Amino acid sequence: MIALTLAQLARVLNGRLELAPGIASDAVVSGDVDTDSRLIQPGGIFVAKPGEVTDGHLFVGAAVERGAVVAIVERLVDAPVSQVVVPDAIGALADLARHVVAQVRDAGALRIVGITGSNGKTTTKNLLARILEDEGETVAPRASFNNEVGAPLTMLRVTESTRFLVSEFGASAPGEIARLAGLVEPDVGVVLMVGMAHAGGFGGIEATFEAKSELVRAIRPGGLTVLNADDPRVAAMAPIAAERSASVRWFGRGPGADVRADDVQVAGDGTRSVITADGVSAPLHLRVLGEHHVMNALAAIAAATALGVSLVDCIARLETVELAERWRMQPLGSDRVRIINDAYNASPDSMSAALRTLAQITGPTERTVAVLGAMNELGEYADDEHDRIGLLAVRLGIQRIVVVGTAARRMYLEAIAQGSWDAEAVFFATDDEAYEYLLGELRDGDRVLVKSSNAAGLRFLGDRLGESFS
């Protein structure tokens, strides 16, 4: 974080400063900010966030032991550390992020990119950060830091030397992207797709469109929007961009896109294509598994080239990326039994894409095995969408369908109803049962996809299988 005195910090947060003995109000703090006391480093700022399970105020002492020099709290805590008392710790975190980014932007050449979409945010963020980091200091979220806590924490890593801030904006309810993106007013806003992820929380696909379009409405006047030309709902955001006097840069597979992919070929070592950006073409071998990640690469290239990076440099840097993120199309196991662990997140769109990838990368002498868990946050759409995935798995000819967890049972029932019998589809209530079955079932030449939402926990089953067949 940029340097602030304790008095300045209190003024920014409109809070009451309570100094520790022997500490003056002009003492300077510039350490990292965090809400997790275990991650505090010497000189750090600890935000005591109240939570559903526990309360950050209980861990102020632990943060001090790890080197925190100030705590942002909602009530004064008996601990030997200076404290800024505020009504709302999460609100204060947002206020601090807004101030820090504004100060850096006003003083230098900071460019800010915001990314949202029902799927692909984290992968696109990582691809874009990889391109930009060779241009100058780049700050991007760790993992999926894209909510009311994670997004501001990422913003607070910005310093006077930062050239690019890449922010990922997720949402669990309408208005959340507007609040988060409004903290920084991105110069470039990237919208990947509008799908069924979180549709239960939003109340349907049209409400999801409204939520994702909040990023476009938050773009700095005269900025740039990078929109998916292949998604009609995303394409419909162009008039919203015009309201912000923002230009539109299109990416997609069609000939009308400013940045497009042709001759796409999917294999076990990644996806090859020819990328064209503004009339210049070059081949790309994207080693991140899955044809759907080509669209994420296109979005990253569209943003990066708009920021002045050449297509040749974009491609050279993307070809160094072997894994988008842990538990996202992560290759494990061995050539004998290959495990693809993609169980960090799941929606109907990403589940479909992962199953299609499994079918595409499996050779004629190899066997497809899909280990599937529940897709969460679908609300009233959950039954129909789980049915649809069970049907798709059968139609793709997946040779073994292993469904895990009662919340995903409809996939199994639909697979059976569609003609997958004779042990082609099996169901297990627990990960342990599925693991024991797969230890005895998997054989040389199997290609295994493990896919579920984070809450279903199958990512750990994928790790176990990867280790067992390494």
In a domain, 460, yes or no: yes
**Domain at 13, CATH number:** 3.40.1390.10
Q: And the tokens for 152?
A: 């501001």
Which stretch of DSSP H or E encloses residue 45? strand 45-47
CA atoms of 238 and 188, how far apart (whole Å): 14
Q: In terms of Cα–Cα distance, which of 92, 69, 24 is closest to 60? A: 69
Query: Phi and psi (nearest 5°) for 168?
Result: -105, 130
Tell me, yes or no, whether 258 and 346 share the same domain.
Answer: no
> Same domain for 245 and 122?
yes
Listed residues 255, 283, 318: the one ending a domain: 318
Amino acid at position 326, single letter: R
Spatial separation of the C-alpha atoms in residues 360 and 463, rounded to whole Å:
23
Q: Is residue 277 a contact partner of residue 306, using CB atoms and an 8 Å limit?
A: no
CATH number at residue 183: 3.40.1190.10
Residues 173, 273, single domain; the answer is yes
Same domain, 280 and 367: no
The position carrying tokens 């649809």 is 388
* Tokens 């003024």, located at residue: 11
How many whole angstroms separate alpha carbon 374 and alpha carbon 409? Answer: 8
Question: Quick check: is 206 in a domain?
Answer: yes
Please report the sign of the dihedral spanned by the C-alpha atoms of residue 185, residue 186, residue 187, residue 192: negative
- Please tell me whether residues 341 and 313 are part of one structural domain: no
Find out whether 120 is annotated in a ligand binding site.
yes
Domains contained in the chain, number: 3
Distance, CA of 426 to CA of 446 (rounded, Å): 17
Same domain, 159 and 48: no
CA distances from 3 to 15, 195, 332, 391, 446 (A): 18, 41, 43, 56, 54
Cα separation of 80 and 20, whole Å?
A: 6
- Assess whether 99 and 217 both reside in one domain: yes
pTM across the whole model: 0.88
Calpha distance 275→434 (Å, rounded)? 41
Is 182 inside any structural domain?
A: yes
Q: Does 155 share its domain with 78?
A: no
219 shares its domain with 344 = no
Per-residue pLDDT of the chain (470 residues; tens, 9 = 90+): 899 999 999 999 999 999 999 999 999 999 999 999 999 999 999 999 988 788 999 999 999 999 999 999 999 999 999 999 999 999 999 999 999 999 999 988 899 999 999 889 999 999 999 999 999 999 998 877 778 999 999 999 999 999 999 999 987 788 999 999 999 999 999 999 998 665 655 667 888 899 999 999 999 999 999 999 999 999 999 999 999 999 999 999 999 999 999 999 998 899 999 999 999 999 999 999 989 999 999 999 999 999 999 999 999 999 999 887 888 889 999 989 999 999 988 899 999 999 999 999 999 999 999 999 999 988 888 999 999 999 999 999 999 999 999 999 999 999 998 875 566 899 999 999 999 999 999 999 999 999 999 889 999 999 999 999 99
Could you list the residue range(s) of the whole structural domain that residue 206 is in? 92-318
Last residue of a domain, one of 55, 87, 119: 87
Position 325 in a domain: no
Closest by Cα among 102, 105, 131, 101 to 307: 131
Q: Does the annotation place 123 within a ligand binding site?
A: yes
Question: In this structure, how many other beta carbons lie within 10 angstroms of the beta carbon of residue 468?
Answer: 15
* Res 202: pLDDT: 63
Q: What is the DSSP letter of 28?
A: E
Both tokens of 229, joined, read 């030309």
Tally of helices (H runs) and strands (E runs) in the chain:
17, 22
**129 and 148 housed in the same domain:** yes
Which own/partner contact pairs does 53-58 have at CB distance under 8 Å and 24+ positions apart?
A: 56/89
Question: Looking at the domain assignment, is residue 324 inside a domain?
Answer: no
Instruction: Decide: 396 and 355 in contact? Cβ < 8 Å.
Output: yes
> Is-contact 132 165, C-beta < 8 A?
no
Apex 191 CA angle, 188 and 195, nearest 5: 170
Is there a domain that residue 323 lies in? no
**Side chain identity at residue 264, one-letter code:** V
| Phi, then psi, of 435 in degrees rounded to 5 | -60, -45
- Give, for 249, the enclosing helix (H) or strand (E): strand 247-252
Domain boundary among 52, 87, 122: 87
How high is the pLDDT of residue 54?
Answer: 84
Residue 290 near residue 353 (C-beta atoms within 8 A)? yes
- 76 shares its domain with 129: no
Q: What is the pLDDT of residue 328?
A: 86
Total residues belonging to the chain: 470
Helix (H, G, I), strand (E, B) or coil at 16: strand
Q: Is 118 labeled as ligand-binding?
A: yes
List the one residue out of 38, 31, 30 whose CA is nearest residue 66.
38
Do 336 and 447 belong to one domain?
yes
Residue partners of 303: CB distance under 8 A and separation at least 6 = 113, 128, 188, 190, 226, 249
**444 is a domain residue:** yes
The per-residue pLDDT for 325 is 81
Domain assignment of residue 270, yes or no: yes
- The string of DSSP codes covering 50-85 is B-SS-BGGGGHHHHHHTT--EEEESS--SSSSEEEE
Q: Report the pLDDT value the prediction gives residue 420, as an integer from 0 to 100.
A: 55
